[in-house]
Amino acid sequence: MLDALGIKGSRNFYALRHTVETIGGESKDQVAVKAIMGHVDNDISAAYRERISDARLRDVTDFVRAWLFAKREKGTQEKPLLKIATEQCDGATASA
């Protein structure tokens, strides 16, 4: 599947986590991204948050899925955000 999607670079669990965090963050709902990633939210507002709706979580996963499976024109460059995520996993410094 990774070959078919043109995903190069590091191909491990942590590369996947970097990609989900990076692309998910573009959905502009970092609270939902943190919940999906299993990260603890130390923000004071988190102490008062009782839940995160399934709709918010689904919006983030749908955003990542749409990015991952987006149709691209032949000959276009690699998806730049994925390149950044995989380079970080390889230990290289990525530029934004």
* 11 secondary structure, DSSP code: -
Residue 15 near residue 31, CB atoms below 8 Å: no
- Taking the C-alpha atoms of residue 74 and residue 67, their distance in angstroms, rounded to an integer, is 16
CA dist 31 to 35, 46, 49, 90, Å?
6, 9, 10, 27
pLDDT in tens, the chain (96 residues): 667 767 677 778 888 888 889 999 999 999 999 999 988 888 888 888 889 999 999 999 999 999 988 876 666 655 554 544 444 444 443 333
